[in-house]
Amino acid sequence: MDGYRIESDFIGEKKIPADAYYGINSVRGHENFNISEDKPESILIKAVAWVKKACARANLDCGLIDKKIAEAVCEACDKLADGGYDNQFIVNSIQGGGGTSFNMNANEVLANLALEILGHNKGEYTLVNPLAHVNMSQSTNDVYPTAINLALILKLATLRGELCETRDILDAKSRELGELIKMGRTHLNAAAPISFGQSFDAYACMLARDLERIDTAADALRVVPLGGTVIGTGYKASPKYCECVITRLREISGLDIQACANLADGIQNADNYAALSSALKICALNLSKLASDLRILSSDIKYGIGDITLTPRQLGSSIIEHKVNPVMAELINQAAFLVCGHDSAVSMAANAGQLELNVFKPVIAHALFKSIDMTANALNLFNKFCLCADIKYHPRGL
């Protein structure tokens, strides 16, 4: 059939575009879960490529796979990790099956890339098979959370950089404004004088605690269930493989990865994700408190508090002339509201896992990725256009 190849499974047949690297399982997943435009993130695809390469290397170390096939799969993993095939991941990021469709999407893309490397046609799975070769000694249930953990660690490094910059800006302002006095307020009413310096140092201290909480949560992600296969027993994986695969993953990722002391724990429980989500939520709430304080302090001098004037970023009204709004602070507030919503979703999903598997890791990963990206991106703009801009301070004669 021109422009298509036919692939089949025990359910039936599907037409697959001839040039597609994905296969029948990916198409079924796309049909079943196409609820939005959200597709797996590049960083998760990179992470699963690292995991699959580690698995292929470990299988080769154990003499379980033909060397030629293993090397082709590893080369395919490198190509996938470089980001050139992200568009071949067609299954929605939120999916039933606990991530099976994502894992199969990866298996099919890697199998077809390996076939191409070996000089064969896509879909010739008798030569390189998505399950028998690419997924050897694995299950979605240990591969998927391991890839999620790696992706989260990488994403958190970016967020951490933005938070450190925010903390450092606040710390510098606390020293710069050390003796400049303003009226301290409780219940929104005048209470007693306090320096701008002490106020900004309090914000810096708050963010330092956020960094500690996020670092603690990130460290817990370095423990992964890879090697546990279906429910943590290592079913269909050799003991030697289970030892080798963590070593290989550590080499490939450059991260200090360790295996869970109890692999079943890493597959069925999601409390580490809930802890990270909680740390992100607390951080978002703290940033929102900082933003709200700046909004209040920058209310205009004539009719409001007017202790500071924020740099104007845009017109504040379509009808009132010369009005300016604290838009960058409002951005932080709204990002925080969404992070809190994502935390609720993670909490519910972590609680909803039954018995030996939590099947709701797709929505957990989706929510965590969105929270991290949103906080990092909002902070980058807030730092640039608000905290590092020309803020004017009005001590009001105190």
Positions annotated as catalytic residues are 317
Q: From residue 211, how far is each of 157, 163, 276 by CA, in Å?
A: 11, 7, 11
Residues 6+ apart with CB under 8 A from 290: 203, 206, 332
Question: How buried is residue 97: exposed, middle or buried, by Cβ count under 10 Å (0-12/13-18/19+)?
Answer: middle
R_g of the chain, CA atoms, integer Å: 26
Tokens of 304: 């409001």
d(CA 28, CA 131): 16
Burial of 156 (0-12, 13-18, 19+ CB in 10 A): buried
What's the length of the chain? 398
Q: In 3D, which of 358, 374, 355 has the Cα closest to residue 277? A: 374
- Token look-up 């009132």 returns 320
For residue 138, give the DSSP letter. -
Q: Where are the beta strands (DSSP E) in the chain?
A: 4-8, 13-17, 181-186, 189-195, 223-224, 258-259, 308-309, 392-393
Cα separations (Å) of 279 from 49, 201, 396? Answer: 28, 21, 38
Print burial letters for 38-70: b (CB count within 10 Å at least 16), e (below 16).
Answer: ebbbebbbbbbbbbbbbbbbbbbbbebbeeebb
| 37: CB partners within 8 A, 6+ apart | none
Helices (H), 221-324: 239-253, 263-268, 271-297
Note whether 368 and 149 are within 8 A (CB): no
| CA pair distance 227, 260, nearest whole angstrom | 10
CA–CA distance, 98 with 362 (Å, rounded to integer): 6
